[in-house]
Structure 1
């Protein structure tokens, strides 16, 4: 049963419902964080288990704190942290607290090393081999691979260097985490930090989602999910697509006004799928989380049916696609499979688009423009035909006039 608290993963049905079609999007590759995958700490996880212990010693050293003191400082979080997981845990109290300390210190030290090359050891496999970081970026954003944020805050507070200048531990920890993931996402504006964040996140994935959706302007929402035609069909009916001119636009901030759909830019590559799938899984599993990312996935599935739709949005600069057009289309078509949308956030937009699309005058005008004004030669032919028609009419009028009014 899913607990109505700050749980970090869904019930035991989660891998069956979400993971069976795209297992690699939900399961870690090289590092296990938290208790849900702790039984798999071997084989492909062994390298990072060694790195965890090394990072733990590094953090203890520069923070000038003993391991015993650190464990004592977090032991009171045991029950509160356990209650965050919906599944029963096999770890006893000692094992669970030691797991929190080891994984939490690894994450804090990893994020601390991230921004500055001066913090990197030449023997550190994480920063010596960029491929490992790509796996880490993937694994640390998985819904089932999380530690409670309050655990990270406590460890950060206990290990923070005294001369660090920051406005507060929570704010500084937030910045460390975001700075680490900005490189991974491949899109500088997807993590828009223009909004002031309240540092009460459930975990790292919740932080990433909060930053993505924070600038999203409220739109009409409801239980109904009206469908709209795809990009190609809408374009043929005269509806235009434009890239948002705001550099800080939230990717969810899609607008429709006077026959124009305005959309922020989105980069699609092999990293986009796992990120969106875990964000959607989080919205589906946490009872009070608004279905904003899920609504976005539904809308994009409506707009994109084939590679033609992908190509058109790429031409407009709305999509930057590093996959094949066919794979990108399939990505959107399957992104929200087996999900339920409560409070669809684009209902008003879809209604306005459908109303415009179903107006025959708009379709006729677009057909006229496309068939007779689409190319310079078509325009020249139309003008020539018009001139010929006018001359023919003048000739006819002149002939009739001559017949009834012959010259004297």
Structure 2
């Protein structure tokens, strides 16, 4: 690579071609309009790697030869990324790093080397943030002043988009940490209850939204099972979800029946004008009596899976969502035996776009899941049969089954 040892700094971006330059080559150089057209094809996503690939592709298309982004901040030393064209036309990474302008005066200017056949342009923003060096090289024609200016324009455009991409990644990382903190593990149920929980957020970039599940251990072997759904998605819904969840844990410690817990949650939420409304279903399981007591705040009813796999819905009186301040919640109590599995879920499990909710619930109510299996396996089967991984909304679902109880159908106990 000895041919790359010759170098000299190039002129500033303003001005015409150097005296003695090739006038014919300048005539064929890219126009500012073609450079602007190339610039709009850079930064189409908030992804740094994609932006670098778009930059080198547009540079190679505009001036020919090879192009790459030089990463000079890695522990392994300088290296090329997003290479387009013949790599042999590029100088050695170490040489290019040595010729790259520093951070001081002139640090944003392009540098020409090897008889003007190598062009190094720093990826630097107007505020001075630097993200590497664009390196372009070719064997034959030298770079003209017009080409230097066109490539510098593309490099500045890419640097701005790389800055946005890194800022987006930093914010996303902080949001992800907060969302993971909000998605704390539910409390432990009593040992006389098998519980399985699944949470499937909608969208690839979302870790958690407003859907949640909770279990609270009560006295005398009882367990409180809860699912809730805060209006909306994303971080704001997750913050409100955490507020409802904290209120529930505090209220449940007083050992109130489900409908009175909902009343307390509604009162607390309605006194906070910024709190988003939420639906909620509470089921209190009492293994000693073999029964479950449910209350609903605008939420869908629970389902029961029988020993042979047949599924049905338990009718529960529906009160207004939490946060309205209207109250008016009622409870309903049913038999629950050890060969029956109780399912609590949010609407993302069953709802489909353009479909009536009664039809959606009917699909769940007519599931035949076969002979009884472990509660974890049964829950996975429900998610698969309802194609929950392609749902259009967040999905939270909780399955619970008692230990050592005789089989009986759920019959209303008033």
Larger radius of gyration: 2
Which structure has the highest helix share of the two? 1
The answer to which structure, 1 or 2, has the higher relative contact order (CA under 8 A, 6+ apart) is 1
Higher strand share: 2
Same fold (TM over 0.5): no
Q: TM-score, normalised by structure 2?
A: 0.22
Normalising by structure 1, report the TM-score: 0.22
